[in-house]
Each structure stands twice: as C-alpha cells, then as structure tokens.
Structure 1
Amino acid sequence: MNIWTEIDMEFAPKRKVSNKLSWKYPHSIGSFFSNKMNRHVEYESRGESLFYFFLELDLSTVRYYVQPVEVPIKFLDGNKDIKYWNHTPDVLVFRKTGKPVLYQIKEKEEPSKREKLINRHCREFAEKKGWEYRVIYPKTLPDTVIYNINFLNGFTRRKSQFVNLIPEVLDKLKHAQICKIEELANNFAAKVDPLFVIPVIYHLIATGFIHINILDKLSTSSVIGINGRSKTILENHLFLEG
C-alpha cells in the first residue's frame, strides 16, 4: 500500500466546490489535472487556482489536499446558547521538511470580524494537530509572477517526446552556464527544429531543473541557468502570509 493512501482518504475533500455561479465567474471556478496528486483538483477562486498552480511547481511540496478538514466554529445563538458550525479551510500542504501547513486563501488583507473568528479557530485546530496555520493572498503577487505561474503550469507534465531531448538540453546549458532560451534552442538547429526544443526548456523550468528570474516575464529571450541548489520557483517568500 502506498504510504499516502490512508492520508489521501483522511483528507479527501469535505465539501464539493459549488459551480452554481460558474456562468457568472467563468474563469474563477473550475478544475485542472494535478500531476503531483494524479487527479483533478477543484478550485473556486482565481486565488485558489494560482496557489495550487504554485504548489504544482514548488519542489518542496510533496502532497496537497483541498477542502481537507472541517473546523468547528463556536458561537452564541439568540438565546445565548453555544452552537457550532463547520468551516472548511482551503488546502493542507505537506512539504519535504517542516510541519504540514493548513492554508486559508483570501482575496484581500483586511479580515472581517467573521474571518478573524474563523482564523482563530483554524489556528487552534491546526496547533492541536501539530500543524501550522497561515492565511495567504496570492492575488497580491506582482502581475509578472502571476503570469509566469499560470504559464508554467501548462508545462509540468513530462511528455514522451521530451524524454530524449532532456539530457542534451541540460548538458548544453551546463556547458553554457547562462544563456537565453532562444540561444539554447538554436543550438539544436542542426538536428531538430528549435521550436520543438522550447517546450522542453519550459518543462525543465516548471519542474525545477532550470532557474529563471521569476520577477521577469518569461519569454524566449529570458536568461536561464541550471538550478544547482534546487530552489523552488518562488522560494515561498513572495506570498504574503498572516
């Protein structure tokens, strides 16, 4: 049995993503196939999809689970009786090192009174589990970074036609040390169309073998190098956390 089988079952989604308003927000609600989780992952905001795309690119992320748990939120009803309702945080992330992190993904940084209550209970819930709890705001990232994450997510899957070219692409880049994507691709002109090599380079960027400056918009003129220290694409420091 896979070591993650029981964890997959324990943290299966606790509620369905609602698509009732998908006609009104066509790019905010949907799903995509996760190569890391080997199944479809649903999202119901652009912030969620952006963060999940980042997790696909993040070398340190091993598994992540959307809508993973129900957190009881205590309140007093009109008769001053204690009641509970369940809140479902957005995603639980397991990384190679450190504690699991329970994330709440938000659009803006000014929490309402209700959100503050939710955050307090979620933080207490996470601490009891031995996890961390964080609130993040993916849409506050620079536009260029958002573009790069969305773009590279389309190149995370290793295609069969990439396999034979990958070792040679990496060898040529090691020899060059630093060069532009178009320059590296043109080195293959004698044996294969450089336009066929460019997606292979993007795949190697998306999977962490090649380093880029994430703050610059990715294009064929981008300067690249070998990711010798295996840094994750954002190094986790560009997401604002609370």
Structure 2
Amino acid sequence: MTETNTAAAEGTATVSPAVVGYGAAEVIYLISQGSAGLKERNAEALQVRPGVLTEQIAALGASSLLARGEIVANGEAMELRGGARILNQALNAAVRWTEVAMVNGTGVEAALYIQSRDVSVFLQPAALSTWFMVVKDPQAGDAQMLKQVMDSNLERHPESAMYFGSQLIGGPKDHLFVRASGNGQWDVAQVENPGEQERDDAVPTDRLLARLAELLALPAEVAK
C-alpha cells in the first residue's frame, strides 16, 4: 500500500470546510495511517467490523481520495489535502472520543466527536457506510460545538434527549444525559454506575456549558 504523509498546515490545520462526506474505504484508509493503538481505538469508536481494516480496502480508499484530489503527488511522496488531511490529523492524534446519541421520537441518531490537541471533528454516519464530517471552529470551545449540535437537534425534535459517552484513551467512560426542561434550563444527569446518577433538572445554560467542558476536558499536557 502506498505510504502517504500529511501535508504541513498552510496557516492553520483547523481551517475547515463546512460539511464533507467520506466513504467507508476512505475512512479505513485514514484510520490505517495511525499507530497500532490508535488504529484499534478508532476502528472501535467508528464501529469498523473486524476483518474490514485491510490493506486492500485501505488501498481502495486511497485511490478514491486520489481521484477526489484529497491525496496529491508531491515528487515521490503522496500528501493528504483538504478535509482528508484534517480528518487524518484528528484520527491519528486523537486523545478523546465522545459517543453522541440523539434520542428522538422517531429513533436514535448516533454520531462521534473526536478531539486531538489541534483539531476536533464531529462525525455522523449516513447511508451506504458514509460519514459526514464537521470540523470545530478553532475560535469555539468543544462544549460550544456539542451545544450547537444539541440545539440543532432540538429545533427538529423538541422533546429529544442527548447522551454523551466520553472517554480518554485508556480511561473510563463518563456518561452524561441532557434534556431541555423549559424556560431556558436543562435536565442534566451524570451516571457513574448503573442505577447511580447525579441529576439536576434546573441547570442554566452557562452551567450546562461548564458541565460539557468538564466532560470534554483534555489532559493538561495535551491541552497546552
């Protein structure tokens, strides 16, 4: 399989397209560029089935990215560009993964939020094993990003609830449930163990943002 390098950032690596879609093979290729531990963790977080993360499928993904202009030749080297470069950076320097579930009247919509030191991306699965990616505005916090996702979902499903399951690599998973409770307040429950929860049904938005920021915090040596 062709070895591909991530191009050096031009200005900043967090300048993002609005929404970009990637196929399963393209995502598998980007996952395959990471270290063994991150490959396994990203495959698990993105629910890549065992046996699918192969050199053959990764090569198909690389070919597709090449055809789209998101892999380009630079002399003898091949470099990632555009959204693929940003997604590669997020996947292969990832520190925290947050499962997102939007529990609506019609079912559950799943998504994944991946944080690295320099960039955070929101990934949502779509038809035919594709993923849509939104990159966090570098001027916004991670809590603001997920609050924006929550607000967008509430516009479509006012009675919905949100679940966030967040985990640092090698660490335990923290569970947070949020539902709008009216008058600009929120019903927030943090679950430590099955049947044990810390719940507050009158949380103002500033405190909700603080809870989300705590949930999404990165280790100090990474967040610098």
Common topology (TM > 0.5): no
- Bigger fraction of residues in strand: 2
- What TM bracket, shorter-length normalisation? under 0.3
Q: What is the TM-score of this pair, normalised by structure 1?
A: 0.23
Greater Cα radius of gyration, structure 1 or 2: 1
